[in-house]
Amino acid sequence: MSTKDAKGPQLKAIPSEGFLDQISFNAEKSDQLVTGRSVELIHYKCMPSPIGIKEVGDNRRTNDLDSISSNGMLYSKAGCFSGAILGNGKQKKSFEANLIDASTAHLVLPRFYNKNDLADGDRIYLSPGDRIYIKECNVEVANAQKCQYRPGKVDFLQFPALHVERLVDSNNVEYSFGYHFVLDNDGHISWVTGKPNPGIDPDTGEGRVYSVRYLYNAHWYVSALINEVRMVSITNDAGQRVPTRMPYSAMIQREYVYYNIPKSGVSDPKPDDPMRPSRRGRDVDPDTTQPDIRVNMGRFSE
């Protein structure tokens, strides 16, 4: 590297004489910066579901046994904390034969759970797959999908519904929420006994397909921990420099990139689980005493 003479006044970035002031992070004020400008969130921890698995390496299970897991995970409420969700959207863009999902957001959170709650001020530990809800508020968002009518049984939706806006079957027959069908305790469609329903398609011998648009409670999953272990040095009250762990930096993703319970299972969330919806507009209770209906289409002749 060639050298050349300096020109003009020179100022050294770090002085060669004297001492620099020690910079110390204030962890408590960092927590207050987040909690003072945020909403209360509920944290549900996840762990792989062992239900129905015979060996550690099994990738198949009996779904009828595993009726309480979601995405292959068991969830339990860990506690509540005050955090902020920044930059969440819902769109997909094509980019060189791939899809870029814009459903990610940044979760800003403090180091500890809120006091006087389940965790009572304990430290927060996140892991990919954990579920995040907004407390005491249904953040209703819309989803549309195709379903198949199942005689005498509930029809599973991808997400637990709060309210059904419209339902039309393959014969272009429209059905009314609260009259022809209702939502069960898990937010799935239950057809009212004695009222019209999509019925059986004679060409397939199976229930007719219908399209449904409904509202459900939005939530998020922890997709990545940008900085899982963030260590800094602070000066404590005794004037000592000590290492301290700072909050997580996490990316979260909306629930529509995940699937809910297996279709063959029957969800059984705990009463305080937000996945159990607090529905609105339920006018009729379904009749669950009727047995399953089996139709032998071979008995019909042209």
Model confidence band, residue 8 (pLDDT cutoffs 50, 70, 90): confident
> Nearest CA to 161 among 287, 280, 41, 284?
280
3-state class of 27 per DSSP? Answer: helix
Model confidence band, residue 21 (pLDDT cutoffs 50, 70, 90): confident
**Residue 37 corresponds to which tokens in the numbers above?**
């400008």
> Whole-angstrom Cα distance, residue 242 to residue 54?
48
Cα 171 → chain centroid: 34
> Whole-angstrom Cα distance, residue 258 to residue 243?
38
Q: What is the pLDDT of residue 201?
A: 92
Q: What is the mean pLDDT of the chain?
A: 79
> Whole-angstrom Cα distance, residue 121 to residue 239?
25
Q: What is the pLDDT of residue 290?
A: 46
> Whole-angstrom Cα distance, residue 226 to residue 246?
13
> Whole-angstrom Cα distance, residue 126 to residue 78?
10
Specify the range with the lowest mean pLDDT, choosing from 26-35, 78-87, 197-206, 285-294: 285-294
Mean pLDDT across the stretch 133-153? 89
Cα four-point dihedral sign 270, 275, 278, 279: negative
Residue 138 carries which side chain, given as an amino acid letter?
N
Model confidence band, residue 226 (pLDDT cutoffs 50, 70, 90): confident
Over the stretch 156-197, which tens digit does the pLDDT of each residue have? 898 889 999 999 999 999 999 999 999 998 899 999 999 999
**pLDDT of residue 280 exceeding 90:** no
Which percentage of the chain shows pLDDT scores above 70? 73
Does residue 112 contact residue 35 with C-beta atoms inside 8 Å? Answer: no
Model confidence band, residue 18 (pLDDT cutoffs 50, 70, 90): low
Backbone angles phi, psi at 123, to 5 degrees: -70, 145
Over the stretch 65-92, which tens digit does the pLDDT of each residue have? 454 566 678 889 999 999 888 876 655 5
Q: What is the pLDDT of residue 208?
A: 95
CA dihedral 284, 288, 290, 292 (to 10 degrees): 120
CA dihedral 66, 71, 72, 73 (to 10 degrees): -100
> Nearest CA to 148 among 137, 159, 156, 140?
156
**pLDDT of residue 215 exceeding 80:** yes
Specify the range with the lowest mean pLDDT, choosing from 8-22, 52-66, 144-158, 221-235: 52-66
The pTM (predicted TM-score) of the whole model is 0.70
Mean pLDDT across the stretch 12-28? 74
Beta-bridged to residue 80, according to DSSP, are 42
**pLDDT of residue 43 exceeding 60:** yes
Cα 172 → chain centroid: 33
> Nearest CA to 197 among 165, 170, 177, 175?
175
